[in-house]
Chain A
């Protein structure tokens, strides 16, 4: 079980990387607006050219 002495710090490093990622995302403003972002994927872009008439 001595492998745990290596694996545990490694796990912490991974956690730290994830945390750094989150902090980066926060600081670049990706969590400033949580309402609109939730909608954006649902708004499809139209295919190229002027949209179809319906």
Chain B
């Protein structure tokens, strides 16, 4: 936000300078270098002069344009911020400049480096060690850490040079795709925290990789599948070699003993291939039969078993065809299809995992007056925790010391931060906005409110019906068609010759085995998911894509989804001249309201000096400016201090209240002179996105935990009918509403009362198309913990950029781009992807019909089958890869103007300079921005500085774009 203002505000050099200035200030604090901690309004008075030459100078470290004010004309190296300078110095100091040579021009970091200067002492905690650290057999210890800031190939080189910087580190291996580094170190020579601090000094922030067991499990499954593919491939290759010989023998003659041997060898290898790697399909088919659902494995298994039985019988009898060459290749190709699909979905899941791991895993525990970083898992009820401004409160508890404002929007949807003081209860997962708090833990982990909500999420996941894939739906008809055709063929041919009837029926079953179908859908999905990921839309499961092509209801959360999720100054009524004084007074406070007023300041003059500032918790702020007493706060606060409020301002304030905003009065010398209207602004692209979605045929509904009044005001401005906007909805209400819209609630309760497996629900809802299809699929869009259960229960849950980690794990789609326009993009692309899939199904059906016709008439011989099968696979593969699902141009064209905000930085560097993206700066894009809501850790990097304001301003600005004033 700020960065954008910096770049576009050419006309306001002073504002720009000031902006840069306080950023430089807090960067200095964060990095623990440079500036002193005295953040005073006085600093603003010697602001920088903006130079006009900024745009074409790029930072020597990150390659982003250097802000005009920071260009040093004489220097050969230019830096956009202190973070980059620090990292550059470290890299040079360690003799690692090669990094800059290895990096190609396109590989530039999408954001400036940030050095948090944290000590990472929590990594040395015994609890952390038992959770994540493993002993290797040669006396070393190893751990996996997720790194924030990995962006290019050169990062691999740099990170793996870690042993040069931290001598106790024996090896560092980076997995680029997952941003996961495995560090092996010698515990006798140093600690893990120093290694993490060394990585930090290179500009990579380390987070412990949670879910170690889940990842280990996934890895083992991956390896197993890969081995199966290898076995299937080896067997298929050998059987093919034998088949070539046999086909050759068919034309040129072959010795009978050799032919028999080859046939036996083929059968042996073929049966092995079907039994081991091919076993997956039989297991899938059996599961499908047991749950009486259609699954693509079923027709595949029928084809495979028919071929295998016929092949074995023919081998033993020494006549007819053995089909093992086709069958082995089939198994091989189908397994490859699965592997590709798995890999793609995994990479989306990995990206989400990185975001997930950026959430705080550290709590600051106070023991015997000493503050100690402890892993969050080690905090027990009764412990006293310190929570600094900008951090997420780690536990449910009661405040023992300090007062602050707490932003509960992620937990409750409430848009206004609540003032809290000693004795007030606070919930884990809420954000401490302004002051330092000491919280006595009452409930932690699963017992906390968040933990209970997560349990609700899990329950709703169990209860929600899985999406039936199109391929699986078709598989049912396919199976029926296959078997009836085979029976028909057998019946007709049996009139003449029973043995030929068996041959032809078997051939039919084999050639109609839906190989292309099994390969086509996963491939099309994979391509779509991969392209979506490149555009910042992370799709966890391919099934979602098919749902997007239909129409139904989109339920949107308000706070943080339709709106920005933070208070901003929307209007200023009354005396403009009071504004400078108000900004000056509020700049001494870190309350969210104060920050909103200060950040909206367009003053070009230096702040007037402020004296005697007093902040009254739950009321407002008072200060002396130019000898006048300025009182800022609610009406009640003003009146309690004897200030009178003129009628016109009262009316303006009432109007603001009716609009769902918060009026803040500013009084000078005992008379209120102005009203600042603060509210949570609607996202710039919200209206256009909703209109686009409506045009596509989706019904829009708003479901929020905020006050009904506020929700109604937002709905009105977005053109959503009042009856489709619900406020005051608890997480449970949201879940219930989503269920109600899906129309499956009664079915589910009945299914569960009968204690039937969840899979039956699907059957049940399918059996009643009227119920299931009443409103179509339900898409839930949200950002908070309070949305998580609804996100999980909805047909598709979409977590928006900057959401809470709970919503990340619950949603099936995560938008890594700000704004709502990606949803429009997603749905448009979903339609195209589905079209590609349909085309593919069509193509493979055509092949199957052709092959079936040949088999039924008895023309088909194994050679033709062996040619037809790869040909059909090749067709579907080229359709899948060539199909335009998320291709850039068609996407752009299909979007209305103005809905195109927030493109990825890498693809459009020009956008940075021009500030094209309406609400979000390109610099703040991707993971970095989400950090500002996700990770208090990343935000409160001023943790080493005792001044709460350091972390405060860090919170305000996110963890990005930190230009250095070049002067302290």
Where the two chains meet, the residues of A that have a C-beta atom closer than 8 Å to any C-beta of B are: 1, 4-5, 8, 11-12, 15-16, 18-19, 22-23, 26-27, 29, 31-36, 39-40, 42-43, 46, 50-51, 53-54
Contact = CB atoms under 8 A, between A and B. Distances in A.
Contacts of A19: 230-231, 234
Contacts of B238: 11-12, 15
Contacts of A18: 234
B576 interface: no
Contacts of B265: 8, 12
A26 B153 contact: no
B967 interface: no
B854 to A, nearest CB: 32
Contacts of B178: 33
A1 B255 contact: yes
A15 B234 contact: yes
B334 to A, nearest CB: 19
Interface residues of B, number: 31
B97 interface: yes
A27 B223 contact: yes
13 contacts: A4-B261, A5-B261, A18-B234, A23-B227, A29-B219, A29-B223, A35-B177, A36-B156, A40-B156, A46-B98, A51-B95, A51-B98, A54-B101
Nearest to A49: B95
A14 to B, nearest CB: 10
A37 to B, nearest CB: 9
B261 A8 contact: yes
Nearest to A18: B234
Ranked 8 nearest A-B pairs via Cβ: A50-B95, A36-B176, A35-B177, A33-B175, A43-B157, A22-B230, A39-B153, A19-B234
Interface string B204-244: 00000000000000010011001100110010011000000
Contacts of A12: 238, 265
B342 to A, nearest CB: 13
Contacts of B219: 29, 32
A39 B234 CA distance: 27
Given A32-B219, A36-B176, 15 more contacts: A1-B255, A4-B261, A5-B261, A8-B261, A15-B234, A19-B234, A32-B222, A32-B223, A35-B177, A36-B174, A39-B153, A42-B153, A43-B157, A51-B96, A51-B98
B102 interface: yes
Nearest to A11: B238
Contacts of B222: 32
A44 B469 CA distance: 47
B258 interface: yes
A51 to B, nearest CB: 5
A36 B182 CA distance: 13
Interface centre among A4, A32, A43 (most CB of B within 10 A): A43
Nearest to A4: B258
Contacts of B226: 26, 31
B749 to A, nearest CB: 44
B97 A1 contact: no
A26 B227 contact: yes
A21 B175 CA distance: 23
Given A1-B258, A18-B234, A51-B98, A31 B223 contact: yes
Contacts, number: 70
Interface string B617-658: 000000000000000000000000000000000000000000
A5 B262 CA distance: 10
Interface in B81-101: 95-98, 101
A12 B237 CA distance: 11
Contacts of B255: 1
B201 to A, nearest CB: 18
B906 to A, nearest CB: 17
Interface in B143-180: 153-154, 156-157, 173-178
Contact of B177 (A29, A33, A40, A50): A33
Interface in B245-277: 255, 258, 261-262, 265
A40 B153 CA distance: 9
A4 B180 CA distance: 51
A45 to B, nearest CB: 9
B665 to A, nearest CB: 57
Contacts of A46: 98
A40 B96 CA distance: 16
A22 B173 CA distance: 22
A47 B327 CA distance: 53
A32 B176 CA distance: 12
Contacts of A31: 223, 226
Contacts of A8: 261-262, 265
A33 B157 CA distance: 16
A53 B238 CA distance: 55
Nearest to B224: A26
Nearest to A35: B177
A54 B265 CA distance: 63
Contact of B153 (A1, A43, A50): A43
Interface in B665-712: none
Nearest to A42: B153
B847 to A, nearest CB: 31
A52 to B, nearest CB: 8
A31 B96 CA distance: 28
A23 B173 CA distance: 22
Contacts of B154: 43
A26 B223 CA distance: 6
Contacts of B101: 54
A34 B339 CA distance: 13
A18 B230 CA distance: 10
Nearest to B153: A39
Contact of B97 (A32, A39, A40, A54): A54
A54 B99 CA distance: 11
Nearest to B262: A8
A49 to B, nearest CB: 8
A34 B346 CA distance: 13
Contacts of A42: 153
Nearest to A50: B95
Contacts of A22: 227, 230
Contacts of A16: 234
A36 B234 contact: no
Contacts of B262: 8
